């Protein structure tokens, strides 16, 4: 198996031209194996009891805001851009040929816009650093519980559980690498905004960009596939629905979250988007 492709340029120099397509198939295989492995692992484990004493729900509203409307719009817009990028990047390599270049760079521009918006929105209107708490002890507890169901259950999380934070950090690194290299690579194609300039960088520099961009792409195959898989799993659909409706119910909040880490009801009640009852309470902005 090869990790990258190279070719001789007109001056006889051997330069990188991208990642090997073997890595694409490796990523597809890894994603499929992970999905099957997790499904088998989950089925073999004893069921976990997330029921709570009714007194724990005292004073908790029926519906709790988890994602604001701007956060939801960002998520679904970014999802469309990301899926379009993956389809236009890899489906032609798999054999289905179509004019993918224009659609690919347009989806890339949309992704860049949504990420820039998200960074500004997170810093200005959300609890930006709450997503970047390491939680090493929490992670170790989760790992022990994954390895053995007899291990003590990990502590309840705040608004962002450890696996959510870990996935977020991974997707940030990979997406930024794809966004930066992809934005620079756009100067090599004609767009309504400029005329192509393939000589902005040397062939060697372009080659490194191609490889980094390709590695980001194949990594996203695994990351996006696993994200969709977990979003569709029955025991996690309540989280997915929160990205559609904006809120979670009281039972799931009490069962899965630590009220001391994700505090609600600390300020006057405000209605949640979607016409919820006035009794709904918004949590602090930590989308």
Q: What is the pLDDT of residue 241?
A: 95
Structure tokens at 84: 């379009």
Q: What is the pLDDT of residue 267?
A: 38
Decide if pLDDT at 99 tops 90.
no
Q: What is the pLDDT of residue 220?
A: 96
Q: What is the pLDDT of residue 265?
A: 61
From the list 2, 25, 16, the residue with the least C-alpha distance to 217 is 25
Give residues with Cβ within 8 angstroms of 42, minimum separation 6.
Answer: none
pLDDT band at 221 (very low <50, low <70, confident <90, very high): very high
Question: What would be the CATH architecture of the domain defined by 4-46+70-141+168-250?
Answer: Up-down Bundle (1.20)
Q: What is the pLDDT of residue 194?
A: 84
- Alpha-carbon span 161 to 29, nearest angstrom: 28
Q: Please give the span between the terminal C-alpha atoms of the chain, in angstroms, as a whole number.
A: 41
Give residues with Cβ within 8 angstroms of 36, minimum separation 6.
Answer: none
Please state which of the ranges 109-113, 166-170, 189-193, 208-212 shows the lowest mean pLDDT.
189-193
Residues 141, 152 contacting (CB under 8 angstroms): yes
Q: What is the pLDDT of residue 53?
A: 53
Q: What is the pLDDT of residue 271?
A: 35
Mean pLDDT, to the nearest integer, of 21-33?
A: 94
Domain ranges of the chain: 4-46+70-141+168-250
pLDDT band at 119 (very low <50, low <70, confident <90, very high): confident
Decide if pLDDT at 88 tops 90.
yes
- Alpha-carbon span 56 to 145, nearest angstrom: 24
Decide if pLDDT at 286 tops 50.
no
Mean pLDDT, to the nearest integer, of 173-189?
A: 93
260 phi/psi in degrees, rounded to 5: -80, -20
Give residues with Cβ within 8 angstroms of 238, minimum separation 6.
Answer: 248, 249, 252
Q: What is the pLDDT of residue 121?
A: 83
């Amino acid at each position: 198996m090869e990790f990258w492709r190279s070719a001789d340029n007109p001056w006889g120099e051997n330069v990188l031209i991208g990642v090997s397509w073997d890595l694409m198939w490796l990523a597809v295989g890894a994603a499929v194996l992970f999905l099957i492995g997790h499904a088998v692992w989950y089925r073999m484990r004893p069921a976990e009891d997330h029921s709570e004493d009714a007194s724990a729900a005292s004073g908790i509203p029926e519906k709790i805001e988890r994602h604001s409307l701007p956060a939801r719009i960002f998520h679904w817009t970014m999802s469309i851009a990301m899926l379009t990028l993956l389809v236009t990047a890899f489906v032609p390599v798999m054999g289905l040929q179509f004019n993918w270049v224009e659609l690919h760079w347009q989806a890339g521009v949309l992704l860049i816009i949504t990420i820039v918006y998200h960074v500004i929105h997170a810093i200005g209107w959300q609890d930006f650093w709450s997503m970047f708490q390491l939680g090493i002890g929490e992670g170790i507890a989760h790992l022990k519980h994954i390895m053995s169901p007899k291990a003590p259950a990990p502590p309840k999380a705040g608004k962002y559980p450890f696996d959510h934070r870990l996935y977020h950090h991974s997707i940030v690194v990979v997406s930024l690498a794809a966004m930066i290299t992809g934005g620079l690579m756009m100067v090599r194609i004609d767009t309504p905004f400029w005329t192509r300039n393939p000589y902005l960088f040397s062939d060697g520099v372009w080659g490194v960009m191609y490889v980094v961009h390709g590695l980001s792409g194949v990594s996203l195959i695994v990351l996006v596939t696993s994200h969709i898989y977990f979003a569709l799993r029955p025991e996690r659909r309540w989280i997915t629905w929160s990205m559609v409706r904006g809120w979670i119910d009281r039972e799931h909040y009490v069962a899965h979250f630590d009220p001391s880490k994700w505090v609600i009801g600390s300020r006057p009640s405000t209605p949640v988007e979607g016409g919820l009852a006035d009794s709904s309470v918004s949590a602090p902005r930590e989308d």
